[in-house]
Amino acid sequence: MNAKVRIIGGGPAGLMAAEAARAAGAEVDVYDRMGSVGRKFLIAGKGGLNLTHSDPFEVFVARYAGRAHELARWLRAFDADALREWARGLGVETFVGSSGRVFPMDLKAAPLLRGWVRRLRADGVRFHVNREWRGWSAAGALRFAGADGVEHDVDADAVVLALGGGSWQVLGSDGRWVSLLERHGVDVAPLAPANCGFDVAWSEHFATRHAGRPLKPVVLEWRRADGAIERRQGEFVISANGVEGSLIYAFGAQLRDAITEYGTAQIHLDLAPGRDVERLARDLARPRGSRSLSEHWRRQADIEGVKAGLLHEVLARNECDDAMRVAATIKSLPLTLLRPRPLDEAISTAGGVRFDALDDRLMLHKMPGVFCAGEMVDWEAPTGGYLLTACFASGRIAGRAAAEWVRSASGTPA
């Protein structure tokens, strides 16, 4: 008899687990709380599906910071090149953008997802939507509730949990699984926002005038706990509540951890990359005559709009005519971040099932036959294709391992 592997969660990790388990000969059923699978995947690809990244392997792995060692093992089995080849097998060609990010040629997520689900169905994978997982029955069966709230139990030889984190709850990742696993003694690190914005105490005038405006180009400077300074150039967006966007996300884990430890985190912004402070001070010291201060800053320092607004946020009125003071602030404008935005607003989630709770096959030590994959495991990564790649890779490992574990437990030869 074929192994019955049940996959709970129909995102990239769950669907890849289904593909791998089916390829290993298991009977596979996928369950999802939403009315269709891949909801978050589709939304993430709305502005252009960033599937993976073209970084060399060692650079790619380093993006996972404190979990680089564990994630390297996943990626050695299924890396960015393997993911691009897999997409090609679905008829989706990819290209490398100017930033090194990898996209489908049409930039869309929907054709890839449709082709993938179609192929999975043709291979015998069964899908069950509008099924909310509620844990296990007293007899050890999986318990689901349908859209009508009626519960029913499902037997399984092995289970792959690919339930996501706790962000974007409206798309299915609500984090309810945490308490279900903790009841069985599974060690779960608290969920926290990753790739998220941060609150800043803007004045009402600044927030009203500049919310939604991009800030570019700009260099963000961050002083680490060991005193080392990290600098990176990029862009981000001013929001009504604070700051968000790719440059902020690149430092997000460090900023979040600093706020947890110290209450706030301070960054510094260089609003004029490529211009030194002495040159700025000389230019700003030129007489402005009848020109307004704003026009003077625009002409002499190319500072206008949101950048000028930021200067007014941190400088006192009497400091705005001090050329050296203004120049120094342009080159190192302090910004205090108060707190991360709420978890549900975050692009992704930190925390989750700790690696110590899992073996190398991603099976829970305390629950033999139960495997975990994707964002619900305790790792995080910046945007840029790294999140998706690791979800795919972990799903492939967990799905294959689930099918193999059943065969091993039953004594069925491979």
Q: Which of 130, 131, 134 is nearest to 180 (CA)?
A: 134
Pairwise CA distance, residues 246 & 59, whole Å:
18
Mean residue pLDDT across the chain? 95
Rg (CA), the chain: 25
Q: For the chain, what percent of residues have pLDDT higher than 70?
A: 99
Mean pLDDT of 277-281: 95
DSSP classification of residue 128 = E
pLDDT for 410 beyond 80: no
Write down the pLDDT at residue 355. 98
343 contact partners, CB below 8 Å, separation of at least 6: 166, 167, 175, 191, 192, 193, 196, 349
- For the ranges 153-162, 226-235, 334-343, the lowest mean pLDDT is seen at 226-235
Mean pLDDT of 102-127: 97
User: Residue 178's closest CA among 194, 203, 161?
Assistant: 161
- The sign of the dihedral angle between the CA atoms of 364, 370, 376, 382 is positive
Q: What's the pLDDT tens digit per position in 246-257?
A: 999 999 999 999
Pure H helices in 104-189: 110-122, 177-182
What is the set of domains in the chain, with CATH numbers? 4-194+348-410 (3.50.50.60), 216-340 (no CATH)
- CA dist 394 and 18 (Å) reads 12
State yes or no: pLDDT of 259 exceeds 80.
yes
CB 163 within 8 A of CB 142: no
DSSP class of residue 355 equals: G
pLDDT score recorded for residue 227: 87
Helix axes 293-301, 305-314, angle to 10 degrees: 120
| pLDDT, average across residues 4-12 | 97
Q: Which amino acid is at 404?
A: E
What percentage of the chain exceeds 90 in pLDDT?
Answer: 90
- Write down how long the chain is: 414
pLDDT higher than 50, residue 191: yes
pLDDT at 414: 47
